[in-house]
Amino acid sequence: MDILNEVKRFREEEDSLKWEGTFAEYLDIVRERKEVAQTSHSRVYNMIKSAGITEKNGNRTYHFFDDEIFGLEKSIEKLVEEYFHPAAKRLDVRKRILLLMGPVSGGKSTIATMLKRGLEAYSKTDEGAVYAIKGCPMHEDPLHLIPHHLREDFFKEYGIRIEGSLTPLNTMRLEQEYGGRIEDVQVERIFFSEDKRVGIGTFTPSDPKSQDIADLTGSIDFSTIAEYGSESDPRAYRFDGEFNKANRGIMEFQEILKLDEKFLWHLLSLTQEGNFKAGRFALISADELIIAHTNETEYRSFIANKKNEALHSRIIVMPIPYNLKVTEEERIYEKMIKESDMSHVHIAPHALRVAAIFSVLTRLSDSKKQGIDIVKKMRMYDGESVEGVNQISVDELRNEFPNEGMEGIDPRYVINRISSAIIRKEVPSINALDVLRAIKDGLDRHASISKEDKEKYMNYISIARREFDEIAKKEVQKAFVYSYEESAKTLMDNYLDNVEAFCNKHKIRDPLTDEEMNPDEKLMRSIEEQIGISENAKKAFREEILIRISAFARKGKRFDFCSHDRLQEAIQKKLFGDLKDVVKITTSSAMPDEAQLKKINEVVARLIDEYGYNSTSANELLRYVGSLLNR
């Protein structure tokens, strides 16, 4: 990649998008493309929609957030459907501050950052194009030039509503530079940029004694008062506050409830009326989406203060909980490691999964529904089918605890402990046990974990360890079978042939001798006993299998190894049970003979080639599974 050529190409593309013309020419653009005159809320909503939407089972997934936000589809859907969409339609929610409220490291600031970065890119597209009065420090909407008494007629002709008044500076410029001729006012296309302070503002609280309201609303330029003769001359004012610069786009308030009250009162007018007071001027119009974020503790303190009641009704709170899906939690850790300087370190398969299992367990509440323990609940949330609880839906479990996910271990803690494991081990590979050990060691140093929570968390580490033990044994046993899928299929086909003959009271023909034989009861029972099917229940189970095969055939589907959860489990256990002694002897032998050594090397090669291990982690896995099987 030639970086200089890429920069040059990017600059040329930006230059090709630039446009300047008169207000009269701008009206021609508006007539053809009404979207250039949309409000900030409408622009953000259309930006989100432009990335694509998938609808499934009545739920919508907004792909704009796919690369950064994991496992929060429900929260994102609620955010878009209950705030951005109605706000884009000019409903009253646009006159509210959007407050993202949730635990630390839950994704609140990431959502705000994505919206800002997305808007920067969207303003460079045809659909997201933004035009402003040239030379205006607030990038004012050119349609503010239309006099108020003509706006109703303008709406009838163009179908566009105009809100807001011309700023004091542009009112003066219209008279002095253009002689009141609005058709001659120069208009230009602008591109949102937080770095250049165009259409995107960010405000961070600092020491309330030193932070000035001018940071929001701008300030008088005392060096020009002698030239212009008055503090009320708009040319003697710096329209450089965050409110000014965020006009037409997004204004982010970081940790909004840490702000001094004098800053919050300015939001009352801005959100409700779309204007704010600055200096000795009339109210200044601003069209911006206000997004803020805070944690639950600060929010509870805020609403408990009666002095803040005026702001309560001007805030829409959107809870952003922790992710509750193990698979999505893994993706969070993968992303965080990828962005670090440790991405070259080999992380063995399932190492991040056990960390994710631990994290998700700390965030879940124990269900009161019969037959649902916390592990089954975790699996159901992750989209797994759990035998025996099909009648209970995931939505039922979610509705049981609406605030679930607002507490627990945050991803930053886990990634810090993974980082610690990487650094401490000083080898280019870590495994699941290294990660669990690091998480356990870190609990004593986690300041906010109570003694009671620590006991619970130690139990969750044990659960994660047990989950890994099962995964590890299956992985090694699969690797010992030269073709696991083929062996499982062969065993299943053999079982199904015998089941069909048993249920239909037929004989089975031996493929080698062509001799007719009774169904192999010993084979069928050896498989069924793996999942606790009793002698009395075997007939019903076998008939259920045949009914399932028939149902698949009617739908034109093929019944395979994964089509029946309990049968799959039985086949696996039978296959692995037959292998157990071979695996145990081979992996735990201190001095393997030539045949054992050859088998170990074959299995290690298979773990590397087919399962994603490296030499170190594959050998560690074999030693660990050997120790498990010998207990």
Read off the pLDDT of each residue in 216-232 and give the average, rounded to a whole number. Answer: 82
The enclosing H or E element of 168 equals: helix 168-176
pTM, entire model:
0.84
What local confidence, expressed as pLDDT, does residue 338 receive?
85
Q: What is the pLDDT of residue 47?
A: 97
Chain centroid, CA 600 distance in Å = 41
450 or 436, which is more confident: 436
Helices (H), 432-483: 432-443, 451-480
Residue type, 8: K
3-state per-residue secondary structure call for 542-571: HHHHHHHHHHHHHCCCCCCCCCCHHHHHHH
Higher pLDDT, 328 or 585: 328
Q: What is the mean pLDDT of the chain?
A: 88
Please report the pLDDT score of residue 553 as a whole number. 87
Neighbours of 461 (CB within 10 A): 20
pLDDT at 424 over 80: no
pLDDT for the residue 317: 92
| E strand map for 143-288 | 186-190, 200-203, 219-220, 237-238, 250-253, 275-276, 284-285
Q: Which of the four pLDDT bands, split at 50, 70 and 90, describes residue 451?
A: confident
Give the pLDDT band of residue 345 (cuts 50, 70, 90).
confident
Please give the pLDDT value at position 25. 96
322-331 average pLDDT score: 95
- Where does the pLDDT of residue 236 fall: very low under 50, low under 70, confident under 90, or very high at 90 and above? confident
The rounded percent of the chain whose pLDDT value lies above 70 is 96
Query: Residues 107, 412: contact at Cβ < 8 Å?
Result: no
Please list, in sequence order, all residues whose beta carbon lies within 8 angstroms of the beta carbon of residue 549, skipping any fewer than 6 positions away.
Answer: 496, 559
- Residue 427 has which token pair? 């080898």
Q: What crossing angle do the helices spanning 451-480 and 615-629 adopt, rounded to 10°?
A: 100
Average of per-residue pLDDT across 256-267? 76
Question: Which are the contacts of 608, defined by CB distance < 8 A and separation ≥ 6?
Answer: 614, 615, 618
> Which residues does 308 contact at the CB level (< 8 Å), separation at least 6?
261, 264, 302
DSSP bridge pairs for 59: 56
Q: Inform me whether the pLDDT recorded for 457 exceeds 90.
A: yes
* Cβ contact 467:383 at 8 Å: no
The three-class DSSP label of residue 299 is: helix
| Chain segment 465-508, per-residue pLDDT in tens | 999 999 998 888 888 776 667 778 888 888 998 998 899 888 88
pLDDT at position 242 over 80: yes
For position 114, what pLDDT does the model report? 96
Dihedrals φ, ψ of 492, to 5°? -65, -45
Residue 545, token pair as written in the block: 């299998």
DSSP letter for 460, please: H
Nearest to 499 by CA among 526, 519, 525: 519
- Comparing CA positions, the residue from 23, 19, 31 lying closest to residue 178 is 23
Convert 284-310 to b/e letters by CB count within 10 Å (16 or more is b). Answer: bbbbbbbbbbbbbeebeebeeeeeeee
The pLDDT assigned to 566 comes to 84
Chain-centroid distance of CA 184 in Å reads 47
* pLDDT recorded at residue 7: 87
